[in-house]
Structure 1
């Protein structure tokens, strides 16, 4: 993880949505960092020192089971932040935060972020709205992983990643996608071949290109639309 001070902090849509005075209160304490693919920012139980606001990076929160298997609980991109919800009391991460798509992010010390929330009511309201949307995302993700077929879940995951990027080529490997979906790599490979055969995606080396966005939305489970709707209701402008 390195630093890149040239990036505009308001590339993050949560920061861009702040009232001018609220943003001004945070800006002196924000720094821009580069997040590399595969970097683990927090392990379960680690003390949380920073709140992050991704720009073009995407970070997954995954639960690490005793047998080594992983299950994704939430995804964070330019729409929001992470390193805050689980830090209000314990200040400890309750899962692994791993960079799935490299890019940049703004970060601020947890102490500065919590002080700003305590003293700025409009910032507090926006944080609460984001936390509600995030809990809804986790709620629907748990149900989705329990009852929906792999292909529908895969489409939901590809759409969620596509929403957080400005291009159609998603830098994803079969192995990483298998970990996030909690299935075998061979299952993901077969699923992606099927999606490519129907013209929804195109597989390239280390990348998956979205070819037919509308077709992916039709093939995705209802959870994608529910999560999308909740974010738009609570945080207008999340999806531009």
Structure 2
């Protein structure tokens, strides 16, 4: 369940603001729960708010004229969405939806743009975050073109693990297929490959990360470049937590309908 009392500084970008800019931005933030399936913005629709997650994961989804869907990026407490809000685009060409439930703070698009004019660090952080998400989208395209499905799944698990502190993820096989741009049976096969290598353990709908280092090695060049760019520009992506028992990092995969 999302934590109603989460503070804005649980979002990495807001936490990086100097005190005076944080105060200016925080005074306009509106708290909101973001349940799974919540639509931050529809494709080709006006942008009303920018969301700064404190927990949960949002997906940026491209939709073709024939209604084919594929995830091109994801973000959580590390960023904000839609990034088009920061350039005054007005409309979002992507759908941005919540896939892992959580909690966020939001700003109206108009107030976001006003604050960017008067708060230079805030504006700089939003520009850097938008750049990193674009970098991630580019490497997602590369990975979809050159990597096997199991490597791409390993990359996705790592990207989610970066953002959730080992919380359970209630995700359908159907959506994983959308994220990886594959058919649902390929998702099941890829999960079996990762489990066979002892990187994860799948029990009653739970996928438990057993060996993150092994998962990173398996993902190889499918994972890491966008994360390195984030850390170069914005600092650590993951919270510095140490788990006594690595099997406490869990993901929940629900059967697709």
TM more than 0.5: yes
Which TM-score applies when normalising by structure 1? Answer: 0.93
Aligned-partner Cα distance in 2 for 1:93–1:207: 34
- Equivalent residue for 1:128? 127
Query: Is the CA contact (8 Å cut-off) linking 1:69 and 1:182 kept in structure 2?
Result: no
Task: Check if 1:100 corresponds to 2:99.
Answer: yes
Q: Write out aligned runs for 1:1-240 (5 A).
A: 6-85=5-84, 88-167=87-166, 169-240=168-239
Aligned-partner Cα distance in 2 for 1:36–1:63: 21
Q: Deviations over 1:159-204 (max 9, x none)?
A: 0001001116433332221111110110000110111122111224
Aligned-partner Cα distance in 2 for 1:168–1:25: 32
SS of the residue aligned with 1:37?
A: coil
- CA-CA distance at 1:86 after TM superposition: 5.1
Which TM-score applies when normalising by structure 2? Answer: 0.87
Aligned-partner Cα distance in 2 for 1:116–1:223: 36
Structure 1 unaligned blocks of 5 or more: none
Aligned-partner Cα distance in 1 for 2:197–2:138: 30
Aligned-partner Cα distance in 1 for 2:109–2:73: 20
Query: Is the CA contact (8 Å cut-off) linking 1:7 and 1:32 kept in structure 2?
Result: no
Query: Higher mean Cα deviation, 162-171 or 180-189?
Result: 162-171
- CA-CA distance at 1:31 after TM superposition: 1.6
Q: Deviations over 1:36-87 (max 9, x none)?
A: 1122222111111111011111000011123332111110100011124256
Aligned-partner Cα distance in 2 for 1:8–1:51: 17
Query: Is the CA contact (8 Å cut-off) linking 2:60 and 2:74 kept in structure 1?
Result: yes
Distance 1:86 1:148, change over 3 A: farther
Query: Is the CA contact (8 Å cut-off) linking 1:74 and 1:134 kept in structure 2?
Result: yes
Structure 2 unaligned blocks of 5 or more: 240-257
SS of the residue aligned with 2:27?
A: helix
SS of the residue aligned with 1:98?
A: strand
Distance 1:113 1:89, change over 3 A: closer
- CA-CA distance at 1:7 after TM superposition: 2.1
Aligned-partner Cα distance in 2 for 1:214–1:137: 21
